[in-house]
Amino acid sequence: MIIPSTNIVTPLGKIILGKVIQSGRLVVAGPNKSKELGQVLNLLRQEKVNFIIIVDGALNRIAPMVEVDVLILATGAARTPDILKLAFETQHIVKILQYPVLDTKGAVIFCENILDIKKVDVILKNFKGKDTLYINGVIGEDSFKYLVSRKDELRGKRLIFSDPIKLLVCCDINNLRDFLSELQKAQVEIGVRKSIKVIAVTVNPYYPQYRFASNNYVEAFVDCDKLQESIKKNIPVPVYDVVKEGSQKLFQDILEYQ
C-alpha cells in the first residue's frame, strides 16, 4: 500500500513510502544525501504513527546520518580481524561522534568546504585577530593536514565543525585522530555545533578469510569474548554481540531513549 511518493531518485527509481500488508520479497533503496534523508524522515513523521524509524547505512556512506536522533555503531572482524586495531578505531569513532557542542566566541570566520590548500592560506590570513574558525562544510584530507601544519596560528583559538560526520568523511580515522591530537596539543579548542548521540555498539566476530592455496574465501571468527571486551573497555556505551546475546537489551536501549 503506497502512502506518499517523492521526487528523490535512487538507482532503483524514485523513493516512495509504503506500508507492508503481506509477506514477500522486496528490494529497497534509500536516499544518500542528508537533505533527502531529512525529507523522507519528515514525511514518515507526518504519518503520525507511533513507530521507531531505523536508518541503515555504512561508514563510507555515513554523511546522511547527521539527520538521525541517535546512532548504533555496528562493527566487527569483517572490517579487520586485528582486535586491538578494531577496538582502537571504534573508540575514536565514538569519541568523534560525541565531540562537545561549542558556541562561537569573539570574532568569527565562517567558511564552507575547504578542498584546496590554497583556501587554507586565505582563511588563515583573514583569521588573524579572530577567535573562532567555523567550518560549515567538509575539509579535504590534504587541506586538513596543511591546516594542522600551521596549528600555531590557531593556538588558543576555537575550531568548530558543523557536525562530527563532516569530520569522519574527511579522511581515514587514524589520520583524523592524529590531526585532532596535534591541534589539541597546540591548545586549539575543538567542537561541533551538533553532536551525534551514540547509544550502543554492536560487534560481529565473523569475517571472510582468504585462502591463497585455493583462491577462495572461508568463514572465520575471532574470539568473540575478547572482541567484545576489548571494544567495551574504552567506550562509554553498551557493547553487544546480538547473535550471542540476542537483541532484547539493544531494543530496550532504543525504547529507553524514546
Ordered by start, the domain boundaries in the chain are 1-51, 57-97+197-258, 108-192
Determine the pLDDT at residue 146: 97
DSSP state of 22: S
Helices and strands per DSSP (H, E), number in the chain = 9, 11
* Region 183-208 average pLDDT: 94
Q: Which of 12-16, 152-156, 175-179, 237-241 has the lowest mean pLDDT?
A: 12-16
Highest mean pLDDT among 13-22, 71-80, 165-174 belongs to 71-80
| DSSP H/E element including 117 | helix 117-127
Interacting residues of 34 by C-beta distance below 8 A, sequence separation 6+: 63, 64, 66, 67
Residue 167 clears pLDDT 60, i.e. is over it: yes
| % residues pLDDT > 90 (the chain) | 61
Beta bridge partners of 41: none
Determine the pLDDT at residue 38: 87
DSSP state of 247: S
Count of CB atoms within 10 A of residue 48's CB? 6
Residue 143 clears pLDDT 70, i.e. is over it: yes
SS3 content of the chain, % helix, strand, coil (to 5): 40, 25, 35
Cα–Cα distance, 190 to 192 (Å, whole number): 7
DSSP state of 186: T
Model's pTM, two decimal places? 0.83
Beta bridge partners of 9: 14
Residue 181 clears pLDDT 80, i.e. is over it: yes
* Region 113-126 average pLDDT: 95
Query: What is the chain's mean pLDDT, rounded?
Result: 90
* Region 38-55 average pLDDT: 81
Under the banding of pLDDT at 50, 70 and 90, the label for residue 1 is low
Q: Alpha carbon 15 to chain centroid distance?
A: 23
Cα–Cα distance, 186 to 153 (Å, whole number): 9
The alpha carbon torsion through 8, 14, 15, 16 (nearest 10 deg) reads: 130
* Region 171-186 average pLDDT: 93
